């Protein structure tokens, strides 16, 4: 399912090669091997650049004299995935390689994780799914998605993690 691209700005990351940041890839690999490291993977993603895919979506169709359909217009849209439970998730990728493994025609838009989380919530998504095509698919939802979107800081509290507001709301 696709939705019109509304909230993801045309961001520029100077010198970005499109590769996944090594510390993010390592944190996600560690989480994939040991799910108790979820908070560490989330903390690594909090500071990361993500690639949100946009794809062309047919707008209007024009029928010629021979009765053949032709594209009259198209739009670029961010991709929302609909889960088996009916909830929506915005897709994001840590690097170009994982994005291309999912869809070679998708165009990457580099954004901060906070911006991706904000876009997910603004588009009515319940989750942000990172690297849906692997190597380790990471799902951010609930209070973690909200904490990222609001720019709160993730902190360790004993064996658990908690979100700390950095500015008054």
Query: Does residue 53 surpass a pLDDT of 50?
Result: yes
Residue 150 lies in a domain: yes
Contacts of range 74-77, beta carbons closer than 8 Å, 24 or more positions apart:
75/4, 75/5, 76/5, 76/107, 77/2, 77/3, 77/4, 77/5
Pick from 60, 95, 58, 57: which is nearest to 79 by CA? 57
66 domain residue, yes or no: no
In the predicted structure, residue 5 carries a pLDDT above the cut 50: no
Strands 61-63 and 69-71, bridge-based pairing:
antiparallel
Residue 169 lies in a domain: no
Average pLDDT over residues 9-25: 78
Domain assignment of residue 126, yes or no: yes
Alpha-carbon distance of 58 to 56, in angstroms, equals 7
pTM for the whole thing? Answer: 0.80
Residue 155 lies in a domain: yes
Query: Considering Cα of 135, then 126, then 46, then 160, what sign does the dihedral take?
Result: negative
Give the mean model confidence (pLDDT) for residues 94-111: 92
* pLDDT of amino acid 18: 87
Residue 36's domain comprises: 19-59+71-164
Q: Residue 11: which pLDDT band, with cuts at 50, 70 and 90?
A: very low
Residue 83 lies in a domain: yes
Answer whether residue 7 is part of any domain.
no
Q: Quickly count: other Cβ atoms within 10 Å of residue 14's Cβ.
A: 4
Structural domain tally of the chain?
1
**How many angstroms separate the CA atoms of 124 and 115, rounded?**
14
In a domain, 1, yes or no: no
Give me the mean pLDDT over the 135-158 stretch: 93
């Amino acid at each position: 399912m696709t939705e019109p691209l509304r909230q993801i700005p045309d961001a520029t990351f100077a010198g970005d090669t499109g590769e996944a940041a090594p510390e993010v890839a390592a944190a996600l690999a560690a989480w994939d091997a040991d799910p108790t490291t979820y908070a560490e993977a989330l903390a690594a993603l909090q500071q990361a650049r993500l690639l949100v895919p946009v794809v062309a979506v047919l707008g209007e169709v024009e029928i010629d004299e021979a009765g053949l359909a032709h594209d009259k217009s198209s739009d670029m849209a961010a991709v929302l995935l609909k889960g088996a439970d009916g909830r929506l998730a915005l897709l994001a990728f840590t690097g170009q390689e994982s994005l291309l493994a999912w869809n070679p025609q998708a165009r990457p838009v580099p954004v901060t994780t906070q911006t991706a989380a904000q876009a997910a919530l603004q588009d009515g998504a319940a989750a942000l799914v990172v690297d849906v095509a692997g190597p380790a698919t990471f799902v951010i939802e609930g209070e973690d998605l909200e904490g990222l979107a609001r720019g709160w800081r993730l902190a360790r509290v004993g064996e658990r993690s908690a979100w700390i507001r950095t500015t008054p709301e």
